[in-house]
Chains A and B, each alone.
Chain A
Amino acid sequence: MLIDARSLPNDEGVDADICIIGAGTAGLTLAYSLIGKGISVALLESGGLKPDRDSHALNWGKNIGLPYYDLDVARARFFGGCCNRWHVALGNKQLGARIRPLDTIDFESRDWVPYSGWPFDKSHLASYYDRAQEICRTAPVSYDIETWIRSKGYTVLPLNNSVVETIVFKFCSKNPFIHDYADAVKNANEIKTLIFANVIAIDLDNSARKVSGLTVASFNGKQIRVNARIYVLAAGGIEIPRLLLASTQKMVCGIGNQNDLVGRFFMEHLHFWSGLFIPSERHYLERMTIYNAVQTVNGVPIIAKLAPSEDTMRRNKLINHNVQLIPRIVPRSTLYSFFFPKRKSEAVDSVWSVLSDARHGRVPSWDKIRNAVSGSDRIVRAVVDAGCRKVGATFDRRQIPVYFLANMTEQVPNPDCRVTLGTNRDQFGMPRVRLDWQVTLQDLSNAVRVQEVIGRELEQAGLGRLYIRLKNDTVPNNLHGGYHHMGTTRMHRDAKKGVVDENSRIHGVSNLFVAGPSVFPTGGHANPVLTLIALTLRLSDYITHVLRSK
């Protein structure tokens, strides 16, 4: 049942057994899983059925850390949420997203990864991962590479699997979500789907241990009240902490924030292109089509990537990381920047500064001259490298096949990487967010070491040479996120260490739960979609059990 909240009378009350805030991937999955269970649901969506600029403007906030996507375009604030924006081409004119479960090691408490460890291991989610794959229509459920390559006769790189292994990413089309499940939810009699319904207050009862209701507002100034027995926040890893931190009527620090954890530990997946692999035999990797482009096997689009084995990660204390081999044919001259890189040094900078002063008739400072003289060896090296680059670019016209490495890595949980509230307010009077996205030295140095491990294995297998450009202390200049907003209401049994418990319930509030990747204590290297669907199905079973037992 679809209702436009703007059409409801002012102060209207909407009652349901379960109220879900947010109709994105998690909210839609949860609502869909509750169809036919005899449970009434109120599904609240801030936007409409199609995107509109007014609703998206509510997402606006400030990025105060590393450059990140503008926050009003980083999320999809309309029915279906971010699954509408899955854009990887899958063939047959379908678009979708990568899916893969987290690895076993991602659930473990690792002594080299601070704040790591889930309240349960991967085996606990096994059946939910299987059900999640049914939802995504990517059966068979196996992620074993042999299962997928056998039928089509693909081959994998002859690497030592105990060190570096070939892993599979499947792709899930967005069509089941934005069509089949969305239509089922909209048409379900037991689900009231309210669009243009913006939650502006989560109200607690006098004990401050139970949600008593929600205040919901629309752009036309009307407000309604939603009352439920159980409430589930499914609005994404930036909006959920915003709502919790802004609800200060009974808890000054914000709901669930008694230990100053809400909004902290924001995690993305670091995406960057760095690393150049030159194959020893030109056409060898062309035969490894499973790595180079999306291929359809048994009706499921897949692609293979390389990753350090779990054994390698444990021995070398690495965090999770995968690389995709991106084929290119480039003029050989472009490689000279790898062979003869630009070298930044104080001596070189001083020379340029002295020359600039001379050109403008200024007297250069003695410090600059001294730096230039004392660093003469570095200056000579820089001149030689620049000359070689120039000669190569001018005379070397050959073209060669290369592979750029598209990296996707886990982030170490960092409490200072966080979502907070700013001073500006939106048109409902709600404070806007500030995102302080940071990376740690461990994130950066891990990426270098993983590339070194992969490079060694490729070389030992006689496949070619990997040129590494990453530095341990430098953020890659093309670093970007994957629109994966994780960790801001992290899961832990101990209320002092997590915002939600092992059942995704907000610590200290008996009827408030969270669905989505904001509960992840660690993010692994896999896209969060499959895990968030698995956790949502688990949550659905739990809250169904809670309701029925009462």
Chain B
Amino acid sequence: MPRWAMVIDLRKCIGCETCKHVCEDMHRSPSGGLRRRILTSGPDSALGSQRIFLPIHCMHCEKPSCLDVCPTGATIQLSDGTVVVDSTKCMGCGACVLACPYGARTLESQDCTFVKSETDEDNRGLRRAEKIGTCIKCDFCRSDNDSGVSKGMGSGSVPKPDPLCVKYCIAEALYFGDIGDPESEVSRLLRQNHTIRLREDLGTQPAVYYIADEESD
């Protein structure tokens, strides 16, 4: 069973937000809900230094804070490490939103997709109004992932069962794969580079790693 993880190379990210736009467009996220944010930090570039752009989404933690606070069991951690929300069980209490230290969850205020588009991927265009008020967050594009894995795709396969953000990143700054496979690209990147995870002090053990220059820490 794979253990999915993502590696984001901050040395390459240029803050173009293509990953965020693709995620919103293809998941038909309503304007009130975000699966992905890009934060900027670092010194003012006018002074000659470079800015850092930090993509943030669900970290799919090994020990997620959101899991225990969910009163209905809607938040589930799958055996491959992906943390997902069963919207049929979610009652929109927002406890998980408060519990997440990464600000990776929001409650869906509107349902944008009662019209089917011929360009919808995997019929995501059809969603029911019952999902208003439930929690949305990144799920590593689970349906694409499962579809790819069921076809025998995995780390090292071409094409790979990558989330949309990874597929469409124009800077090729995002990597996705099985961290349990020592031969996978993500495992190799972790061995060869200095990486950090956000808020490691909290013990959540995120599955999203950032490659950064040591001075950028």
Q: Are A89 and B114 CB-contacts (below 8 A) given A53-B12, A62-B46, A329-B129?
A: no
B119 partner residues in chain A, CB cutoff 8 A: 89-92, 293-296, 301
CB distance from A80 to the nearest CB of B (A): 9
User: Count of A-B contacts with CB under 8 A?
Assistant: 117
Is B50 in the interface zone, CB < 8 Å from A?
yes
Interface string of A265-309 (1 = CB under 8 A from B): 000000001000000000000100100111110000100000000
A87 partner residues in chain B, CB cutoff 8 A: 18, 21-22, 25, 168
State which residues 45-104 of A face B: CB under 8 Å.
50-54, 56-57, 60-62, 70, 72-73, 76, 84-85, 87-93, 95
Q: Are A273 and B22 CB-contacts (below 8 A) given A72-B45, A289-B116?
A: no
Contact of A326 among B12, B111, B112 (CB under 8 A): B112
| CB pair A427 B116 closer than 8 Å | no
Q: Which of B11, B110, B111, B129 has the most CB of A within 10 A?
A: B110
CB distance from B42 to the nearest CB of A (A): 10
State which residues 90-118 of B face A: CB under 8 Å.
109-118
Contact of B171 among A50, A62, A89, A294 (CB under 8 A): A50
Indicate the size class of the contact surface on chain B.
35 or more
Bound-state CA distance A330–B129 (Å) is 8
Bound-state CA distance A273–B31 (Å) is 10
Contact of A292 among B25, B48, B115, B171 (CB under 8 A): B115
Is B68 in the interface zone, CB < 8 Å from A?
no
Contact of A401 among B47, B114, B171 (CB under 8 A): B114
B118 partner residues in chain A, CB cutoff 8 A: 91, 293-296
Is B121 in the interface zone, CB < 8 Å from A?
yes
Bound-state CA distance A326–B116 (Å) is 13
| CB pair B11 A53 closer than 8 Å | yes
Is A331 in the interface zone, CB < 8 Å from B?
yes
| CB pair B117 A76 closer than 8 Å | no
Bound-state CA distance A462–B9 (Å) is 54
Contact of A72 among B13, B51, B117, B167 (CB under 8 A): B51
Is A432 in the interface zone, CB < 8 Å from B?
yes
Q: Are A329 and B132 CB-contacts (below 8 A) given A51-B171, A85-B16?
A: yes
B167 partner residues in chain A, CB cutoff 8 A: 93
| CB pair A50 B172 closer than 8 Å | yes
Q: Which residue of A lies closest to B45 (CB)?
A: A60
Bound-state CA distance A547–B110 (Å) is 58
Is A259 in the interface zone, CB < 8 Å from B?
no
Is A343 in the interface zone, CB < 8 Å from B?
no
| CB pair A328 B15 closer than 8 Å | no
Is B72 in the interface zone, CB < 8 Å from A?
no
Bound-state CA distance A292–B112 (Å) is 10
Is B185 in the interface zone, CB < 8 Å from A?
no
Bound-state CA distance A88–B117 (Å) is 13
Q: Which residue of B lies closest to A84 (CB)?
A: B170
Bound-state CA distance A124–B118 (Å) is 36
Q: Which residue of B lies closest to A171 (CB)?
A: B119
Bound-state CA distance A292–B115 (Å) is 7
| CB pair B51 A57 closer than 8 Å | yes
Is A424 in the interface zone, CB < 8 Å from B?
yes
Contact of A73 among B15, B31, B114, B168 (CB under 8 A): B15
Q: Are A329 and B115 CB-contacts (below 8 A) given A60-B45, A62-B46, A87-B25?
A: no
Is A399 in the interface zone, CB < 8 Å from B?
yes
B53 partner residues in chain A, CB cutoff 8 A: 73
Interface string of A298-325 (1 = CB under 8 A from B): 0001000000000000000000000000
Interface set of B (CB-CB < 8 Å, partner A)? 11-18, 21-22, 25-26, 30-31, 40, 45-48, 50-51, 53, 109-121, 125, 129, 132-133, 167-168, 170-172
| Further pairs besides A70-B15, A87-B22, A401-B114: 4, Cβ < 8 Å | A85-B170, A293-B125, A329-B111, A424-B46
- Between-chain CB contacts (< 8 Å), 21 pairs: A51-B12, A51-B16, A53-B14, A53-B51, A57-B45, A57-B50, A57-B51, A60-B46, A70-B15, A85-B16, A87-B18, A89-B25, A89-B26, A93-B121, A293-B119, A293-B125, A327-B115, A328-B110, A329-B132, A331-B132, A424-B47
